Amino acid sequence: MIVSSGIEDDVDLNRRQLLWAGGGIGAAALLTACGGGTAPGASSDSGARPRAGGTLRVGALGRASAVTRDPHGSQANESDYLVLSLVYDTLTVPGAKPNTLPRLASRWQSSDDLRTWRFTLAEGAAFHDGSPVTAEDVVFSLRRLRGTPSGASRLPGIKAANITAEGTGTVVLVSDYPNAELPQLMRLTTFVVKKGTTDKDITAAPGTGPFKLDWFRGGNARLVRNDDWYGGEVLLDAIEVKIFESPQAMANALLAGQIDLASNVGAVAARTAERRQDVQVVRRPNDMAMPIVMRTADGPFADPRVREALRLAVDREAMVKQVLSGYGTVANDILGTGDPAYAKDVPQRARDLGRARTLLREAGFDLSKTYRLKTTEDVPGLAESATLFAAQVREAGVRIEVVKEESASFWDRTWLKGDLYTTYWGTNDSVVFFASKTMVSDSGTNETAWKNPAFDAAYRKAMATKDPAARAELLHDVQRIQHGSSGYLVWGTADGIDLAAAPVRGLPTLPGYGRVQLERAWLNR
């Protein structure tokens, strides 16, 4: 099966979304089209004609202590990911219809057994220094990515030795198992750098993206237009990125006219801004999941009855109302709620304190102890969700102390290791994404340390199924198993909210990290 699209024909549409992001069509739709797709949407331009020029000043969340310049590193800061995603290109990107679109790869084709995939590079793709992008550059980049601590999760089922070049313009990936969704799973940090780039030189490595790095200082950066970008015309002269540690500080900067765009600013700021005529509120439903992680391998939450009790002790409607100020949707302990293959037929869990207490008693759970729930303030509402969760489960007899950790410490010491902690994912359009990255037994980012042979088998069976409709049905089995026994408590999904000054036009509107794809933005001044 072949998927291709003419990038040059879509100048007026945003073609880029990010690694955790997704379009409106989910996993079941991948590979159903053999022609061009509909690119992601952009904010309304009120009939104004796009114009070139100007500098867009963007605020993004991050902490100076967590700055990452390596395009293959783990980006805890949204500010870092914004910069990297505009300087470097990935092979594929999320879209609307279908949900995976070409980028640095113009098309792809699988073998009949869904194990061998050939990605053809886009014609005219070049690095910022003018040198052409070759298959060897992509092979080097993907192998380097595969060698990172989370490389096995970023390139699931792909060993470094099984990434090879075929001529100058085709990259071949051979999967350990049939994988009908591999192009979708390449919508991550498959950023491409030049072959031979050393770790020492990686921060200065030229990219292929719509903007070039002018300077970078302490998390703040200035990017200038790449006039030779193969993906079409870029209108802005430059983008200046300013790092903010809190959503409120970022929102205040926008209201004071110090920045033009506040990215992922949260519900509190939205309530204030909606009363302002000079501020645009861009709202993206099903944007972010903020699940509570319960470790399943060992520790106090290893017993599935205990995990079920905590899920039953949560008042989900209250969580959405209080934590998200109503800017969100109740969830059902399944990740990927924006996917058309999402299992809506699975009965919605409702609060049942009586049943929760019974399960805790049957499991012999020690109610005399106080358990620690670790969280961060990396995104709006995350720490607040932990506090409200602790108050709610106290009604079932479970005492929890919320511990706020500094971001760098949390990701180094708690993530993947803790018994009970919050996490967040800025995407919700793909059941397959979460299954492959966080739930199969051999995942390098298996957040709950969950090993379930039935789940693994159901996932592999779905991935080995060519027919999209049949694959979607099999993905329902994957979700039913997750709902029944995984280590996730998914109480709701947050709307994504950006604030923009009145002159800003052409902003992306898809859920997830699509908000950072700004090459089609322009200023109506």
In the three-class reduction of DSSP (H, G, I as helix; E, B as strand; rest coil), residue 166 is classed as strand
Residues 5 and 106: their CA atoms lie apart, in Å, by 6
Q: How far is CA 178 from CA 143, 247, 307, 467, in A?
A: 20, 42, 32, 13
pLDDT given for residue 379 in this prediction: 81
Tell me the CATH class for 287-494: alpha beta
Angle at which helix 382-393 crosses helix 304-313, to 10 degrees, equals 100
Is residue 154 packed enough to be buried (19+ CB in 10 Å), middle (13-18) or exposed (0-12)? Answer: buried
CA distance 367 to 439: 29
Antiparallel, parallel or unpaired: β 370-375 and 504-505: unpaired
- Amino acid at the residue 312: L
In the chain, list all ranges with CATH 3.90.76.10: 2-35+50-206+503-523
Buried b (16+ CB within 10 A) or exposed e, 280-312: bbbebebbbbbbbbbbbeeebbbbbebbbbbbb
Q: Is the backbone of residue 486 left (phi > 0), alpha (psi -120 to 50) or beta?
A: beta
For residue range 14-42, list pLDDT tens digits in order.
222 222 233 222 222 222 222 233 334 45
Amino acid identity for residue 302 in this structure: A
- Is the Cβ–Cβ distance between 399 and 367 less than 8 Å? yes
CA distance 28 to 120: 23
What pLDDT shows up at residue 117? 98
Residues forming beta bridges with residue 334, ordered by sequence position: none
Q: Write out 492-518 in H/E/C secondary structure.
A: EEEEEEEEEECCEECCECCCHHHHHCC
Secondary structure element (H or E) that encloses residue 325, with its range: none
Looking at residue 513, its amino acid is: Y
| 486 and 333 Cβ atoms separated by less than 8 Å | yes
Six-digit token string for 177: 């198992």
Q: Model confidence over 65-107: pLDDT tens digits?
A: 889 999 999 887 889 999 999 999 999 987 777 778 899 999 9
Residues 346 and 332: their CA atoms lie apart, in Å, by: 8
- Give the residue range(s) of CATH 3.10.105.10 domains in the chain: 287-494
Nearest to 223 by CA among 210, 214, 234, 231: 214
Reading the block at residue 8, the tokens are 């040059």
What pLDDT score was predicted for residue 395? 98
How far, in Å, are 267, 346, 385 from residue 248 at the CA level? 10, 37, 17
Residue with tokens 């520790």: 299
Measured at the alpha carbon of residue 26, what is the angle toward residues 446 and 480, in degrees to the nearest 5? 55
Nearest to 396 by CA among 296, 491, 305: 305
CA nearest to 333, candidates 227, 431, 413, 408: 431
Amino acid at 175: S
Cα dihedral: 179, 71, 20, 39 (round 10) = -80
Quick one: CA torsion of 385, 388, 389, 394, rounded to 10 degrees? 170
What per-residue string of b and e applies to 29-51 under the rule 16 or more CB within 10 Å gives b?
Answer: bbbebeebbbbbbbbeeeeeebe
pLDDT of residue 8: 29
Tell me, what's the pLDDT at 186? 86
For residues 377 and 426, the answer to whether their CB atoms sit within 8 Å is no
Class of CATH domain 2-35+50-206+503-523:
alpha beta
Structure confidence at residue 94 (pLDDT)? 78
Contact 478, 462 (CB under 8 A): yes
Burial class (CB in 10 A: 0-12, 13-18, 19+), 406: middle
pLDDT at 43 (0 to 100) = 54
* Residue 485 CB neighbour total at 10 angstroms: 15
Digitized pLDDT (tens) for each residue of the chain, 525 residues in all: 444 433 322 222 222 222 223 322 222 222 222 223 333 445 555 578 999 999 999 999 898 888 999 999 988 788 999 999 999 999 998 777 777 889 999 999 999 999 999 999 999 999 999 999 999 999 999 999 999 988 888 898 999 999 999 999 999 999 999 999 999 888 877 999 999 999 999 999 999 999 999 999 999 999 999 999 999 999 999 999 999 998 889 999 999 999 999 998 888 888 888 888 899 998 888 888 999 999 999 999 999 999 999 999 999 999 999 999 989 999 999 999 888 889 999 999 999 999 999 999 999 999 999 999 999 988 888 999 999 999 999 999 999 999 999 988 998 999 999 999 999 998 777 899 899 989 999 888 899 999 999 999 999 999 999 999 999 999 999 999 999 999 999 999 999 889 999 999 999 877 766 677 799 999 998
pLDDT at 16: 26
3 state SS for 43-92: CCCCCCCCCCCCEEEEEEECCHHHCCCCCCCCCCCHHHHHHHHHHCCCCE
In the prediction, which pLDDT does 247 show? 87
Report residue 146 as tokens: 């595969």
Residue 43's nearest CA partner among 520, 435, 496 is 520
Q: Are 291 and 450 in contact (CB under 8 A)?
A: no
